[in-house]
Structure 1
Amino acid sequence: MNPASLPEPYPSRRSLLRTAGLATVAAPLLGACVTAAGDDKPATTGGAKSAENPLGVKPDAPLEVVVFKGGYGDEYAIKAEQKYAEKYPDAEVEHQGLQKVGEAVQPRFVANTPPDVVDNTGAGRLDIATLVSAKQVTDLAELLDAPAFDQPGRKVRDTLLPGVVEDGTFDGSTVTLNFTYTVWGLWYSKALFAERGWTYPKTWAEMLTLCETIKKAGIAPWTYQGKYPEYLNDPLLTMAAKTGGLDLVKAVDNLEPAAWRQPGLTQAAEAFAELAGKGYLMSGSEALSHTEAQAAWCQRKAAFIPCGSWLEAEQKDVTPAGFDMVMGTVPAASTGDRMPGAAVQAAGSESYLVPAKAANVAGGLEYLRILFAKESATAFAQANNTLPAVAGATDGLTLSSGLGSVRDAVTAAAGDAFNFRFRTWYAPLAKAVDDATGELVNRRISVADWSARIQKASDALAKDGTVTKYTR
């Protein structure tokens, strides 16, 4: 929902903790064996708080950081560790860059000996809702209210893009901070469109007309990462939200009865069923992984592909020169939508947390204060062509075509950026939605079946007293 992760999440992602591609390849590790943090938490002796040490870090306390090493690598995290070591030269800093973070750290959560900082991202990541229920994560309020590392006069919370704090908030407590800012849309080659004289569609009717033109030109209008139908859900859900507004989004996230029968959702499902029914999806897309589908798109075998804003970074080694990939916002279903056409689905990814049982909680918070500094975020943007969660991080930079289009989309959306939370809160519902959409676009179930299947999964969760519920 994370490059090479995902939701993601979706968000990725999505679940929504998606950084690229594999965020939902495997279900997040769940917490049947994650125990609640009790009163036996080992005492951490902090340092004296001051203007230079606002979080009370003990200068010689060791710091251990575990980072998901996906498409973004982990060099950006290592640079923040080096800054930490410069400020606290007596502290030993240990770094691990891993592909399977959840698998590595879950036993340590069980043993109450977790690292001080965890980038809980990638396939098999820990289920954050379970960690929250077990009181295994630190409330980040102190960090958010601390002075920004390199922006005098501002608190950390005031330096973040819209929705970043909310994405990591459960029952009023912010327990994760997402370092990258993911925007979901439809990607195309600006060079191909210019060459063919095609114009990016603003409405779904225009999209279908263009798809017919593209098909007649011998190019598949769309492909998608078929093994992970979450990718196709992003534009479907975005279209639905634009139609039904935030009330639709809240009804879904709050597990309301008949939420998945709302007209905005069924109309969006019908639109994507029509996309498949008219033959506008590249043949064989269902069997493709994210890398295979994206490679075919880069080879101009298809004109559109749905993806989050990590796509450019993930494809950097295989994108042909002059391809000029850009992201467009999801076309409006109709002129009567409750959200403007510029509205985008956006959320954080690369999800950082400080375990409640960490030996050096203050150090973990200070590390995040350094990581989320503007200098750190700007360097990340330059290296990865990805929008960080820190506002203004790309100011003054010469941006690539992809990152420039993402930045422009966020600017145009202004206050109309939104995000579904159910993927983060309820992993089983996220899987039910993904599975149903995969069946829908491969013409094995009807829109009515799609709606009924997902609503059944939502209702089951709503009635399950063992599942902690969240509302917005």
Structure 2
Amino acid sequence: MGSTSEVGRRDLVKRAMALGLISVPTIGALSACASGGDDDNDGGAKGEKTEKNPLGVDKNAPLELLIFDGGFGTQYVEDDVAAYEKKYAKVKTGSTVKIQSKVQGRMAAGDPPDVINNSGDEAMDVPALIGQGQLADMTPLLNAPSIDDPSKTVADTLRPGTVEMGQYGDEKCYRMNIAYSVFGIWYSQKMLDDHGWEYPTTWDDMLAVCAEAKKEGIAGWTYTGVYPQYLGFSMLPMIGKVGGAEVLDAIDNLEPNAWKHDSVKSVLEAHYELHAKGYILKGSGGWKHTESQTKWTEGKALFIPNGSWVENESKDTTPPDFQMTVSPSPNLDGSDAMPFETIWAQAGEPYIVPAKAKNVNGGLEFLRHMLTKKSAAGFSKLVSSLACVEGSEEGLQFGTGLTSAIGLMDAAGENFLNPRFPDWYPTTWREHVVFVLGDMMKGDASPGEAVNKIQQIADDAAKDDSIAKYKH
């Protein structure tokens, strides 16, 4: 990896996260009440609650854990498994890249794993699971004493916004995020420096840099056409920058014609120019994320929209002097509502505990072990990502990618965006909207056609009573 830098106290991160993340939705409709009481879940093995066992774990009950084997891998949980097994029973650990395929049948049959890292392209639809009463309430975990400092609750130790990202319309928490991700446009600073180019702060500058790169036989952009939701890491924050956060709020709220706002049209037209001018690496539309990332680290393309896990996920193909860097999406022009430094960053990499798990309390206890500073710092060191435990990054050294991501959060000040459409309506977003964006980037739909199609998709979701609705 490239050069590293010392990371100290991050008061600005805390403030910015609070501003960017705390947006608690109010529920519109749920098809059924979620399982779990105010301070206890009903099912699963139970033990005696004591000072050392505040969640009442049955010490003889085994625990089953299923991890998403994606950008963060699975090694980061090994210390937590060892720590849990010292106090309680054996942990059976499994991994997959296809969470839904692996566990959907088991969820329906009432025989799910006790803890699930519900991430990746096949992550299960959390609002749907809540509506079916399939998820345990994590309030007991949040109210439990922290392992680091029993005078504090677990909730007290988390970065602002972490709990809120697990809430869907009430004060219960249905998922626990362990990572804090920064989204943006990633590139090799060395490649830019070698050619005398600067990162573009406006879209005209972006097109100009891409034109220069094309002359050198380098594509301006690449992306994953197989998982086109990655395009949102550039498009959504740019929409908010151009039109203001209220445009993203209107999209989140499923308001009529929200996707037809001028800022949405402008941003889609801007990205379409990359295709129209031949600045996208040929083949991108058919590649998986790892394939596009490899082409990028090989220097075949300048820019790629991605999240801060990319540094770890592509480490095996990244040259030592690559100087991986992330910057915000460019502004459209000087009339934009928000400054260039505006970014999208949020708590992510969610864990859930099924309500029908055999060891619900054990699942919550396992997460309590994950939410210690030691575990969080180990996670950060291993996978080059910030964790959601407050202060866990202090004193650590990171690669250039995460260092630049932290710098973005500092520079953003109060200019943070947190679009909720992708996690409030995950099926609508992941299975419908993003493929329209992907078609547009391949030239199979014009920006105008894409806007109309996406608006119809959003309208259909708004009318569908089986989909839970949320509002800012």
Quickly name the TM-score band, shorter chain normalised: 0.7 to 0.9
Percent of paired sites with the same residue: 40
Secondary structure in structure 2 of the residue aligned to 1:461 = helix
Match of 1:424 in 2: 423
Asked if the contact 1:47/1:59 (under 8 Å) is kept, the reply is no
CA distance in structure 1 between the aligned counterparts of 2:260 and 2:269, rounded to whole angstroms = 12
Match of 1:101 in 2: 99
Asked if the contact 1:422/1:430 (under 8 Å) is kept, the reply is no
Structure 1, residues 54-76: CA drift from partner, whole Å, max 9, x if none? 32333333322222223422222
CA distance in structure 2 between the aligned counterparts of 1:64 and 1:207, rounded to whole angstroms = 48
Q: Does 1:291 align with 2:290?
A: yes
Letter paired with 1:200: Y
Asked if the contact 2:33/2:131 (under 8 Å) is kept, the reply is no
Asked if the contact 1:325/1:401 (under 8 Å) is kept, the reply is yes
CA change 1:204–1:160 in 2 (3 A) is farther
The higher relative CO (CA closer than 8 Å, separation ≥ 6) is in 2
Q: Pairwise mapping of residues 65-76 of structure 1 onto structure 2 (< 5 A)?
A: 65-76=65-76
Letter paired with 1:312: E
Structure 1, residues 192-222: CA drift from partner, whole Å, max 9, x if none? 1121221112222322222222223332111
Letter paired with 2:290: T
Match of 2:4 in 1: none
Letter paired with 2:374: E
Match of 1:46 in 2: 47
Structure 1, residues 146-204: CA drift from partner, whole Å, max 9, x if none? 23222454332233334322222111222001222221111111111121221112222
Q: Pairwise mapping of residues 423-442 of structure 1 onto structure 2 (< 5 A)?
A: 423-426=422-425, 427-442=427-442
Match of 1:356 in 2: 355
Structure 1, residues 208-252: CA drift from partner, whole Å, max 9, x if none? 222222223332111111232222232011100112222111111
Moved more, 310-319 or 111-120: 111-120
Structure 1, residues 292-338: CA drift from partner, whole Å, max 9, x if none? 22121112111111111111111111112211111111112233333
CA distance in structure 2 between the aligned counterparts of 1:72 and 1:275, rounded to whole angstroms = 30
Match of 1:331 in 2: 330
CA change 1:181–1:431 in 2 (3 A) is same
CA change 1:76–1:283 in 2 (3 A) is closer
Letter paired with 2:153: K
Structure 1, residues 11-51: CA drift from partner, whole Å, max 9, x if none? xxxxxxxxxxxxxxxxxxxxx9x99869996464332242x
CA distance in structure 2 between the aligned counterparts of 1:227 and 1:66, rounded to whole angstroms = 24
CA distance in structure 2 between the aligned counterparts of 1:215 and 1:160, rounded to whole angstroms = 45
Match of 2:250 in 1: 251
CA change 1:366–1:38 in 2 (3 A) is closer
Q: Pairwise mapping of residues 1-12 of structure 1 onto structure 2 (< 5 A)?
A: none
Normalising to structure 1: TM-score of the pair? 0.86
Q: Does 1:168 align with 2:173?
A: no
Match of 2:56 in 1: 56
Secondary structure in structure 1 of the residue aligned to 2:341 = coil
Secondary structure in structure 2 of the residue aligned to 1:337 = coil
Q: Does 1:128 align with 2:126?
A: yes
Structure 1, residues 364-396: CA drift from partner, whole Å, max 9, x if none? 111111112111111111111222222322211
Moved more, 328-337 or 185-194: 328-337
CA distance in structure 2 between the aligned counterparts of 1:414 and 1:162, rounded to whole angstroms = 15
Asked if the contact 1:37/1:357 (under 8 Å) is kept, the reply is no
CA change 1:444–1:106 in 2 (3 A) is closer
Q: Give 1:120 shift.
A: 1.4
Match of 2:7 in 1: none
CA change 1:44–1:294 in 2 (3 A) is closer
CA distance in structure 2 between the aligned counterparts of 1:59 and 1:267, rounded to whole angstroms = 58
Match of 2:233 in 1: 234
Q: Does 1:401 align with 2:400?
A: yes
CA change 1:161–1:243 in 2 (3 A) is farther
Asked if the contact 2:71/2:310 (under 8 Å) is kept, the reply is no
Match of 2:272 in 1: 273
CA distance in structure 1 between the aligned counterparts of 2:438 and 2:109, rounded to whole angstroms = 39
Asked if the contact 1:186/1:235 (under 8 Å) is kept, the reply is yes
Secondary structure in structure 1 of the residue aligned to 2:317 = coil
Asked if the contact 2:237/2:344 (under 8 Å) is kept, the reply is yes
CA distance in structure 2 between the aligned counterparts of 1:373 and 1:450, rounded to whole angstroms = 45
Aligned residue pairs, count: 437
CA distance in structure 2 between the aligned counterparts of 1:455 and 1:99, rounded to whole angstroms = 31
Letter paired with 2:434: D
Secondary structure in structure 2 of the residue aligned to 1:164 = coil
Asked if the contact 1:103/1:125 (under 8 Å) is kept, the reply is no
CA distance in structure 1 between the aligned counterparts of 2:36 and 2:321, rounded to whole angstroms = 57
Match of 1:214 in 2: 213
CA distance in structure 2 between the aligned counterparts of 1:316 and 1:186, rounded to whole angstroms = 17
Asked if the contact 2:68/2:74 (under 8 Å) is kept, the reply is yes
CA change 1:156–1:418 in 2 (3 A) is farther
Q: Does 1:388 align with 2:387?
A: yes
CA distance in structure 2 between the aligned counterparts of 1:156 and 1:446, rounded to whole angstroms = 48
Secondary structure in structure 1 of the residue aligned to 2:302 = strand
Letter paired with 1:102: Q
Letter paired with 1:60: N
CA distance in structure 2 between the aligned counterparts of 1:211 and 1:413, rounded to whole angstroms = 25
CA distance in structure 2 between the aligned counterparts of 1:305 and 1:245, rounded to whole angstroms = 24
Secondary structure in structure 1 of the residue aligned to 2:455 = helix
Give ranges in structure 2 of 5+ residues lacking alignment: 1-30
Q: Does 1:194 align with 2:201?
A: no
Asked if the contact 2:72/2:312 (under 8 Å) is kept, the reply is yes
CA distance in structure 2 between the aligned counterparts of 1:356 and 1:79, rounded to whole angstroms = 25
Match of 2:20 in 1: none
Match of 2:448 in 1: 448
CA distance in structure 1 between the aligned counterparts of 2:36 and 2:385, rounded to whole angstroms = 39
Asked if the contact 2:72/2:383 (under 8 Å) is kept, the reply is yes
Match of 1:312 in 2: 311
CA distance in structure 2 between the aligned counterparts of 1:304 and 1:127, rounded to whole angstroms = 30
Asked if the contact 1:180/1:349 (under 8 Å) is kept, the reply is yes
CA change 1:429–1:75 in 2 (3 A) is closer
Match of 1:26 in 2: none
Give ranges in structure 1 of 5+ residues lacking alignment: 1-31
Asked if the contact 2:138/2:174 (under 8 Å) is kept, the reply is yes
CA change 1:43–1:291 in 2 (3 A) is closer
CA change 1:363–1:409 in 2 (3 A) is same
Letter paired with 2:278: G
Match of 1:467 in 2: 467
CA distance in structure 2 between the aligned counterparts of 1:43 and 1:363, rounded to whole angstroms = 9
Q: Give 1:83 shift.
A: 1.0
Secondary structure in structure 2 of the residue aligned to 1:45 = coil
Asked if the contact 2:115/2:354 (under 8 Å) is kept, the reply is yes
Match of 1:77 in 2: 77
Q: Does 1:111 align with 2:109?
A: yes
Letter paired with 1:405: S
